[in-house]
Amino acid sequence: MAETENLSDEDLELEELILRFDQLRAVQEEIDVTSWLENLNFQSRCRALTEMACIDLERAFEAGSLPPVSPFLGRFPNEFLEDEFKREVAVEHIRLGRQFGIELNVSALAGQYGISEQSLQSTFGKSSSSSIWSVAGSTVVRNDSPINDEVFPSVGDTFCGYPILLELGRGAIGRAYLARQPDLAGRPVVLKVTSKFVAEAEKLARLQHSGIIPVYSIHKEGQLFAICMPCLGAVTLSQLISSLGLLDSENWNQEAISTLVGQHVSTMVERSISMDPVIEPQATVESQRVSRSNTSDGEPVVQLLGLNELTTSLASILSTKDQFQTKLKLAIEICDAVAHAHEHGIIHRDLKPENILIANDGRPVILDFNLAVQDGQHGTELAGGTIPYMSLQQLRAFLGQTHKPSFSDDVFSLGVIFYQLFCGRHPFRFRYFSTIEQAIEVRCGSDIGTMLRQFEPNLKGSLSAILEKCLTNDPANRYRSALELGEDLKREQASQVLKYASERGVSTRIRKWARRHPVLASNFSLVTIASALILLTSWAWFSARQRSLSSWASQQSILLASQISDAEVDMRSPGLEVELMTQGLGKAQRVLEKWLAPHSGENDPKPFEHLDNMAGERAALQLARLVSLGQETHRKLTLIAPTQAQKFDLNFDEFRQSLGKQSPTPDADLYEQDDVLRKLYQSSDLQLFLESADKRVATDPTDPSGWFTLATAHWALGNISQALDAFDVAAKLQPASNTAVFWKAICQMQLQRYEEALKNFRLVQQRDVNWIAPRYNSVLCLMQSNRADEALSEIEQLSLARNVSARIHSLHANLLSRAGKTTEAEAARDRALQCDPQDVDDLVTQGVLMLASSPESGLQKFQAALQMDPNHLAALQNCAQVLSESMKDTVNAVDYMTRILRLRPKSASALASRGVLYGRLGQIDQAIADARAAQNTKPGALEMLQLAGIYSLVCESTNSDTHQEQALQWLSRAVTANPGLVTIASVDPDLQGLRTHGDFHRLLGLTQHSN
């Protein structure tokens, strides 16, 4: 059972929050997490921020950015007052520096973090069997002794007579250096230095194979031991398969993003990475890697390591057109080397791509026998390995279960490596910081056969059967050693029937026989072809046409998901902009007519008729979602802009009927998910809407429309930071979507990040010069950035466009008024009132302009806006304001405030406003309940004044001195926080219950006098 099942709800929430930060930090440098922490108590906030700070540091190191101290300490000083949390981040800072080959001054770092040097040294040097580094890709070792950094040699030193040129890497128990051997023409060698004697050299000395790193000599100096080995190269198999194009995934960028938003395993590399022969440092442990262009004595690393020759060798290897055979040859060579070790009774136990060197002549060489054991050894003290490459039995040994290491452990590791080599991804999905328990749970829940069938096109011949036998959880069903695995791989290479793994079918055996006996196969085929020639001629044309149509339909189904997401994002825009709704409906119409409209003849084929059942069912579900959303969008557009809606001749009932005929899926199931989401949004049950949207993203984390829906839910609930993160992911998944970038900028503007917002609005303007909304919001950004002249210039250009909206005229009037141009401002306001509203925001704008002359007319505009969007916050707020202050209809005003609180349950302003209304109605219990709730939501100065009003109204009804004192306390806090509120407080009728109290006048008088 997974360890997380025993965690409290608070711990699970904390874990989920940290995971979300980890996922987003992988694709975004800066994340505002303030709103994420609102529901956490102080101790949980400290824990969460400490974990986030550590993750942030790791991402910074990966990006090559080396901060002197974690920026989280400056952003959240209260949470990092305790040395415990600062020390934890500082320790991680040092660990990351060492992992990435950077020496940090412990004393200086302690000063920067504000903790004692002794405390940091003792914490970092402490040894504990429970301190296991479980970062995917790094070796984990139980009961390892601490390493004193001071005794290790540095670049430029001479160790055992060898001048140290470069530090190549750091592992679980030592370091590797590039050095010169002075007594043999100064040839480059690798020195592996450890703080204790290891049996690796003895094991390697027994193995004589071109695919296993040999040992030159063993040395000891002071407390350190060193193994001298040849320098064969600087590129690992991990770097080869990720950097030199051996990945088969055609959609590599999409796969990278889906990993980022799902469960991150290891550092992802862009497919278009440079072919420069100097390999950049990765977060590996034992590879012979380089991080500088020259050694300490000035010789170019490329020349010293022979990397130019390596590039030539790799180019020769990769020049073949049959990449499958290239990979198969590489796998066989790796297997031969491991088989040699198995023949000598040695189990490696830490096989992974980072421990396989690609020598300068192109052959693979096995490295790092630190954890290797002799066959027959067992005991928990021997537990070790790298989590994503460990067998189920090795993982359980880490939890104390008895396990006798066996050759089948190495076979499992080879299966994972070869899966990566042929399929371009790891077979198992781990979280970035996986625990042993989580790794076991994932491993037990994985269906090897399903995974292999998913990538069947990449696994030619019987390779899928070979990998399935390697990766099975039951060691009794695996190959007994690499020798057996190698024999089946060689049989596959020679097109022979496998000896140990079961073939997938008779057709596979026939194809292999044909490849081995081309002449016989050719004669047999000749007779068959001759006898069938007449039949072939009769249906050749029909068959060719069917194949062509099937191929065309498959291509159309691949494009469908992208086309639907593009249309959905436009139609789901939370602002109900007419421009976007019209644009999205146009895209939807083109897709639906192509797939579901009736035939217009032979030249108008429909893709559905030429898809297999699985592809057809998938397309039906996507189209059903589009039909449902399109119908709802058309309804809204008819209410907002009937003229625009009339342009679309869309018969949604006909589309539904056509889809029902084409799809085997029941109609109710087709439309269920999207109908549920829409009803939740319309019912104002936004929390359930958010949960449903979150589940949709979890089901398909690569769907940009799903992320856009999740962002919309967060935006509607006022979770602007989370909405920004989700809009950002949607924009990355669908780079061509202007709508996602636009809403990303809207969130940045609401978070007062005006320069970032302006940059994104400008980007959208460049892509779509006819879209007005980005230009309008650019003006708002300029205003908020105190660039009034630029804002006025831009709004004047915008007001000259065709079909200018009411809010553009209103904003123009505002800027003109600020510039002292009163006459022009009045004319702009008149134009705003006279033009036809284009969307909900236009209705609200016109309502606000009408309030001064006719509150009733303004209320009608706000209510009309709510008919189109029941959750429009500004319309709800203005309805409550007009009803309570202008029309004295407090009862109905309470209803509108309650609707706002359904949307924003923790809004201090809404809680305080409704509390005032309850106080005016004499509903004392409800008023006090809202006041107490508002007190717990960090109220601002204005909300403090409202709290004073609530308690003043309550004390009028109850004659309670306690409530009167509370009212005075909140009044004092309000005018202290904002002295400008004194004027409002002096005439506020809600404070009538305080006016007879002497402290009321003294308080206001003292505040005025001091200012």
Give pLDDT tens digits for 872-912.
888 999 999 999 999 999 999 999 999 989 888 888 899 99
In 3D, which of 11, 828, 2 has the Cα closest to residue 399?
A: 2
Residue 407: CA count within 13 A, CB half-sphere? 20
pLDDT (0 to 100) of residue 296: 52
Please, what are the domains in the chain? 3-126 (no CATH), 158-507 (1.10.510.10), 542-682 (no CATH), 837-899 (1.25.40), 906-1011 (1.25.40)
In 3D, which of 352, 387, 179, 212 has the Cα closest to residue 282?
A: 352
pLDDT (0 to 100) of residue 261: 27
Q: Strand, helix or coil at 200?
A: helix
Are the beta carbons of 559 and 616 closer than 8 angstroms?
A: no
Q: Which two tokens stand for residue 469?
A: 């036998």
Say how far apart CA 858 and CA 186 lie, in whole Å.
Answer: 88
Give the DSSP letter string of 495-517.
Answer: TPPPSSSPPS-HHHHHHHHHHH-
Q: Choose between 92 and 639: higher pLDDT.
A: 92
Per-residue b or e along 753-770, where b marks 16 or more CB atoms closer than 10 Å to that residue's CB: bbebbbebbeebbeeeee
Q: How many CB atoms lie under 10 A from the CB of residue 400?
A: 10
Structural Rg of the chain based on CA atoms:
35
In 3D, which of 273, 213, 200 has the Cα closest to residue 243?
A: 273
pLDDT (0 to 100) of residue 570: 80
Q: How many CB atoms lie under 10 A from the CB of residue 119?
A: 15
In 3D, which of 57, 50, 64, 47 has the Cα closest to residue 25?
A: 57
Packing angle of the helix pair 652-662, 613-640 (nearest 10 deg): 170
pLDDT (0 to 100) of residue 573: 75
Residue 547: CA count within 13 A, CB half-sphere? 6
Distance of alpha carbon 543 from the chain centroid: 45
Say how far apart CA 153 and CA 134 lie, in whole Å.
Answer: 27
In 3D, which of 172, 175, 104, 93 has the Cα closest to residue 134?
A: 172
Are the beta carbons of 170 and 285 closer than 8 angstroms?
A: yes
pLDDT (0 to 100) of residue 300: 56
Q: Which residues pair with 188 in a beta bridge?
A: 180
- State whether the Cα torsion 843-845-846-848 is positive or negative: positive
Averaged pLDDT for residues 655-671: 52
Q: Which helix (H) or strand (E) holds 240?
A: helix 237-243
- Output the pTM of the full model: 0.44
Which DSSP letter does residue 673 get? H
1009 pLDDT higher than 80: no
Q: Which residues pair with 166 in a beta bridge?
A: 178
Q: How many CB atoms lie under 10 A from the CB of residue 746?
A: 25
Packing angle of the helix pair 961-977, 998-1010 (nearest 10 deg): 10
Averaged pLDDT for residues 807-819: 91
97-151: per-residue pLDDT in tens?
766 656 677 877 888 888 887 766 655 443 333 223 333 344 444 433 444 555 7
Are the beta carbons of 809 and 831 closer than 8 angstroms?
A: yes
- How many residues are present in the chain? 1011
pLDDT (0 to 100) of residue 173: 63
In 3D, which of 24, 258, 251, 29 has the Cα closest to residue 733?
A: 258
722-751: per-residue pLDDT in tens?
889 888 888 888 777 788 899 999 999 989
963 pLDDT higher than 70: yes
453 pLDDT higher than 60: yes
**Bridge pairing between strands 174-181 and 346-347:** unpaired
Distance of alpha carbon 417 from the chain centroid: 25
pLDDT (0 to 100) of residue 140: 46
Say how far apart CA 572 and CA 579 lie, in whole Å.
Answer: 12
421 pLDDT higher than 80: yes
Q: Which two tokens stand for residue 816?
A: 């003109």
Burial class (CB in 10 A: 0-12, 13-18, 19+), 429: middle
pLDDT (0 to 100) of residue 873: 86
CA dihedral 36, 41, 43, 46 (to 10 degrees): 20
| Percent share of the chain, pLDDT over 90 | 20
360-404: per-residue pLDDT in tens?
778 899 988 878 888 766 544 456 678 888 999 988 887 777 788
Alpha helices (H) along 378-435: 392-398, 407-423
| Percent share of the chain, pLDDT over 70 | 69
Are the beta carbons of 109 and 94 closer than 8 angstroms?
A: yes
Say how far apart CA 824 and CA 832 lie, in whole Å.
Answer: 13
Strands, E assignment, 98-170? 140-141, 158-159, 162-170
Say how far apart CA 887 and CA 814 lie, in whole Å.
Answer: 27
